[in-house]
Amino acid sequence: MELDDDDWGLSAEDFDFLERDAQQRIAQQQLQQQQCSFSSSSSCFLNQNQQNLRDNTQANFDSFSYKVDSLLPEHNTLPSLVAPMAKSDESSKGLQKLSVKFLLHASGNVAAKFPYDPVLVAAVRKIPKAAWNAKERLWILPLDSLSSAEKVFNEISGYNIEVDSLDPLVQRALTAASAVQDLIEWYDRIPDCIESKLLPFQREGVRFALQHGGRILLADEMGLGKTLQAIAVTACVRDSWPVLILTPSSLRLHWALMIQQWLNISSSDILVVLSQWSGSNRSGFTIVSSNTKGTIHLDGLFNIISYDIVPKLQNVLMESDFKVLIADESHFLKNAQAKRTTASLPIIKKAQYAILLSGTPALSRPIELFKQLEALYPAVYKNVHEYGNRYCRGGVFGVYQGASNHEELHILMKATIMIRRLKRDVLSELPLKRRQQVGITCLMNG
């Protein structure tokens, strides 16, 4: 009578281990036979070559064992099932060494990875909300269980447990993100005229912003409606208006028209700052020249200013105390030495709600993201060298041009501050064709 797997009373992991252990024993016996055949060789080779053969045989055995371990699921001995393999004199002197590695999972949770061992499995089952992911062969646990997980593994007695935890930068970012206020209840504040026009993925983008405390990097591909999503978010925090919008100079009028269209705000409540202006203003927007002598008052409900003017008006902007801010094309802040970057960052940091928009977030050049991350989470991204050494493959003399731990950075950003969709990801949600009239009004001479 044949027995099914369940009839043995063993788990799949136990069967994997038995298979691996049998292969290791067969390999060991074969190598021992080789050693015996080598020892019966002619005596003329014994004096010098016998020791070399033994060394090579042992090296081959170690190499073979390593290959077996790398190809099969990693297990340690099951004392109740199989007698442990003989250990070397050196390893028997100390405690058995076991390793546990924590890493950031794509789900935004923490994953624990370790070779199978009954002691470690018993320990991980004590961790609150820990769950086994059979497909990826990982233990998944929420962020708030990380400290208790580390404690559980470190308190295992009779073993030398080596715990490789998450990088401190990663832990700070996840902790900061979990501490922000969830504003999802404010979604209903979006006017029906806007909410009804939002596509499903755009609604998801607005909800993401609210769930992350209103401080995010909206990194959708160009053409997916980042402007409308940002306007919808500002509608949810209307109690904190006025709003400051930082944008490239070529997009100032576009923002003014979009705000007027979607929020039904009087054109006189939309203030646009220009470096120089003279002429007619048929649009009805409030126009202010940055070259005006005396104090400039930014008293519109929406105040639109280009990045190149920010350094000149930094003091005015800081004193205005804007709580809601949108930074369009935020990759304009990638250069840490640029005046617009050094002038804009304190203003973004000070705002209670900050929506950064960029269709090209430069994920392949992590150093160009640092200032944007610092603007959103200054308490987390406070050391460019820590960030550069982790994600920019180090650097010579503080110059970081490479990329490292790329997958971890991408997962970390998606779990904490960034949402990004490409057109191919949401193609089924897009209309077959969209027509849009873009008005162009000449507001300045230069």
Residue 6 has pLDDT above 50, yes or no: no
Q: Which of 38-42, 228-232, 264-268, 307-311 has the lowest mean pLDDT?
A: 38-42
Q: Please, what sign has the CA dihedral across residues 171, 176, 179, 182?
A: negative
**How many whole angstroms separate alpha carbon 3 and alpha carbon 22?**
20
Highest mean pLDDT of the ranges 41-45, 58-62, 236-240, 291-295: 236-240
Q: Name residues whose C-beta falls within 8 Å of residue 208's C-beta, 6 or more positions apart in sequence.
A: 216, 419
pLDDT at residue 270, rounded to an integer: 96
* Residue 3's pLDDT band (cuts 50, 70, 90): very low
Would you list the domain boundaries of the chain?
A: 5-71, 91-166, 177-429
Cis peptide before 200 (omega within 30 of 0): no
Average pLDDT, the chain: 82
Interval 118-172: pLDDT, tens:
999 999 999 989 999 999 999 999 988 888 999 999 888 888 889 999 999 999 9
* One-letter amino acid for residue 13 of the chain: E
Across the range 171-182, mean pLDDT stands at: 94
- Which pLDDT value is given to residue 87? 37
Mean pLDDT of 375-391: 95
Q: What is the pLDDT of residue 442?
A: 55
C-alpha to C-alpha distances, 48 to 35, 38, 56, 61, nearest whole angstrom? 15, 13, 13, 21
Higher pLDDT, 51 or 100: 100
CA distance 372 to 363: 12
Q: Which residues contact 374 (CB under 8 A, 6 or more apart)?
A: 345, 349, 381, 382
2-11, 153-162, 165-174, 185-194: segment of lowest average pLDDT: 2-11
- The model's pLDDT over 66-90, given as tens digits with 9 standing for 90+, comes to 443 443 344 343 333 333 343 344 4
Query: What phi, psi does 161 have (nearest 5°)?
Result: -95, 120
* E strand residue ranges, 56-145: 96-104, 110-113, 131-133, 138-141
Please, which residues have CB within 8 angstroms of residue 92's CB and are 6 or more apart in sequence? none
Residue 430, CA distances (Å) to 17, 169, 196, 226, 420 in order: 50, 37, 15, 14, 16
Better pLDDT: 164 or 276: 164
Q: How far apart are CA 355 and CA 264, in angstroms?
A: 21
CATH of domain 91-166: 3.30.780
Place of tokens 């603007």: 375
Q: What's the confidence (pLDDT) of residue 181? A: 95
Q: How far is C-alpha 142 from the geometric centre of its chain's CA atoms? A: 15
DSSP letter assigned to residue 418 = E
d(CA 371, CA 387): 11
pTM summary value: 0.75
Burial profile 201-212: b = 16 or more Cβ within 10 angstroms, e = fewer: bbebbbbbbbbb
Lowest mean pLDDT among 357-361, 397-401, 411-415: 397-401
Backbone angles phi, psi at 320, to 5 degrees: -70, -20
The pLDDT value given to residue 16: 58
Q: Which CATH number fits domain 177-429: 3.40.50.2000, 3.40.50.10810, 3.90.550.10, 3.30.450.40?
A: 3.40.50.10810
Task: Enter the DSSP assignment of 437.
Answer: -
Residues 6+ apart with CB under 8 A from 183: 210, 211, 213, 214, 236, 237
| Contact of 342 with 382, CB cutoff 8 Å | no
